[in-house]
Amino acid sequence: MLVLVAPGQGAQTPGFLTPWLDLPGVEDRLREWSAAIDLDLIHYGTQADADAIRDTAVAQPLLVASALISSRQLFATPEEFTAHVGAAAGHSVGELAAAALAGTLTDASAMTLVRHRGQAMAEAAAVTETGMAALLGGEESVVVPHLEKLGLTPANVNGAGQIVAAGTAEQIAALVADKPEGTRRVVPLKVAGAFHTHHMAPAVAALESAVGELTATDPHTRYVSNRDGRIVTTGDELVRRLVGQVANPVRWDLCMETFKELGVTALIEAAPGGTLVGLAKRALPGVKTLALKTPDDLDAARTLIAEHSSPVADPSAEEGARA
């Protein structure tokens, strides 16, 4: 059973879109999306430096665009996607790309929504000096209470021994000085704010307004939600979760548990892949993994698809399930 996943913020690197522009139709599609959302995706994906693409309002549309561009090289139509992919998911902003690939959003509406999301989260982050830090190692039962004692939120529970904390700059500094027992390292992340916490409440309100006229259809493929690892089968519920998730923790650990319960045998991470494959290698032993970093990885991905395809005839039969 094949799972396709889309990465979240922080996966972008300077110039990462450059090799994809050599593929037929990619530059035209990126120019079309750039005009629609008033953001030069080609410039930021090929020429901008690390500081420029770290900007939340820039990074999020770039990541969704790259996930869609790379995935569409493998599955050109919804029928192809459904015929080969057993489940789709995305980490944080990657959820919007997964929602488009699973058929709830169009590519164009996903790009419009992610533009609103990135701008709203950037504005919310500017209100208070906040940040995030990755904790490497340590038991969740020890780490989470320690974070709560410091007033921090476990914003990303990624599994495989990784939790990302979020809060004010002072709270992050206190965590660095006083890490939980068993944690090897605390690594402050170069992000603009405390994403997936109450600090993002203003962004939720902005997104609720943005999705008011959005047309959402039911997904044609299992969609696994960040909120709780559950399979969501209606378009309206999926969109509600996309909005609320901005201010709630990402439970990628539960998503991977669902993949396991579904019988995953292979996992492909859309461009710019790598982070989620790394987590899968530790949490899903025996599962074949592949990260789409450049077009050079497409042939290997096609081979993996041919070997591990497992379509789902009726995702609605599993509504609300973790398995």
Catalytic residues: 92, 196
Q: What are phi and psi of 141, to 5 degrees?
A: -65, -20
Closest residue by Cα to residue 56 from 127, 154, 158, 125: 125
d(CA 61, CA 104) in angstroms, rounded, equals 18
Contact 178, 165 (CB under 8 A): no
Contact 57, 122 (CB under 8 A): yes
d(CA 31, CA 233) in angstroms, rounded, equals 32
| CA distance readout (Å), 18 to 27, 53, 107 | 10, 14, 20
Q: Residue 156 forms beta bridges with which residues?
A: 164, 250
Sign of CA dihedral 282, 284, 287, 291: negative
d(CA 34, CA 72) in angstroms, rounded, equals 18
| CA distance readout (Å), 159 to 39, 93, 96, 105, 229 | 34, 18, 21, 28, 12
Closest residue by Cα to residue 94 from 69, 117, 64: 64
